[in-house]
Amino acid sequence: MKILKIIGILILTVIGLLIVWVNLPTSILYYSEIKYGNEFVENIYNYKKQHGQFPKDNSWDTLKILNPLKPYETFYPEYHIIDKDNFSLTYIEGFDPPYLQYDTKSKKWEKK
């Protein structure tokens, strides 16, 4: 009987921890991705200040220099130019959304 109580408490504890983990804010759940992503965003804006435009989508050598992470070392953000004043950075994990994406208008990371 005592063992059943212990097993029940363990199961409830695991379920409780999973509920807390799923409901954590994006800033905590994706802390390291956001940290490196913010460095990448800052480097992209510095590049625009120096060259007058964002780097091209397909200029891989430039993007490698600007990105603080090495390719294929971890989740690598995808970079796309939206227009002359906006771009997107998206961390794609797996095949299904939601994806972590940087919004240049609000200057925030969001799950989309």
Residue 5, SS3 per DSSP: helix
Hey, where are the domains in the chain?
26-111
- Report, as an integer, the average pLDDT of 73-102: 82
- Report, as an integer, the average pLDDT of 72-78: 67
- Report, as an integer, the average pLDDT of 65-69: 78
Confidence of residue 10 (pLDDT cuts 50, 70, 90): very high
Mean pLDDT of the chain: 85
Confidence of residue 72 (pLDDT cuts 50, 70, 90): low
Confidence of residue 28 (pLDDT cuts 50, 70, 90): confident
Query: pLDDT by residue (tens digit) across 38-50?
Result: 998 999 999 999 9
User: How far is the C-alpha of 4 from the C-alpha of 34, rounded, in Å?
Assistant: 42
More confident residue, 27 or 7: 7
Which range has the top average pLDDT, 70-74, 89-93, 104-108? 104-108
